[in-house]
């Protein structure tokens, strides 16, 4: 079946280091991918998105890379801060509105 999954369930990084969160997807029909951040007790928060006709997109301290050849998506966070501690989800968009989420990666920032 279709799925969007993550390689690492938990990632621990030192404050100030860069973080890389990975995601593999199995359905190549999507043309849009989105990263969300979910803090404890809150709903997912939009971080950044990317179309399938792009391989890289940068935001403020975040970069998303898309490799369609191997169906791989990554989120890079520069100079990781304690406030970045959360669960990160990649979502594959099918059509206009159906978002398929993976199980998530927990990012722990160590002081």
How are beta strands 105-110 and 10-14 bridged, if at all? parallel
The residues in 8-47 that bind other proteins, with binding defined as CB under 8 A, are 31-32, 34, 36, 41-46
> Within 10 A of 88 (CB to CB), how many other CB atoms are there?
23
Q: Report angle CA 69, 88, 56 to the nearest 5 degrees.
A: 40
Minimum CB distance to other proteins, residue 99 (Å): 6
The SS3 call for residue 84 is helix
- Under the binding rule (CB under 8 A), the answer on residue 102 touching other proteins is yes
Tokens found for residue 12:
């621990």
Taking the least distance from each CB to other proteins, the nearer of 18 and 103 is 103
List the interface residues with other proteins, window 41-100 (CB under 8 A).
41-46, 49, 89, 91, 93, 95-100
Tell me how many residues contact other proteins (CB under 8 A).
25
């Amino acid at each position: 079946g279709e799925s969007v999954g993550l390689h690492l369930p938990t990632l621990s990084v030192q404050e100030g280091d860069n973080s890389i969160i990975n995601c593999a997807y199995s359905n190549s029909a999507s043309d849009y991918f989105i990263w969300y951040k979910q803090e404890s007790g809150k709903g997912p928060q939009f971080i950044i998105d990317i179309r399938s006709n792009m391989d890289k997109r940068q935001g403020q301290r975040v970069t998303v890379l898309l490799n369609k050849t191997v169906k791989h998506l990554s989120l890079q966070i520069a100079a990781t801060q304690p406030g970045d501690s959360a669960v990160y989800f990649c979502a594959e968009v099918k059509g206009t509105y159906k978002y398929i989420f993976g199980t998530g990666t927990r990012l722990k920032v160590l002081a």
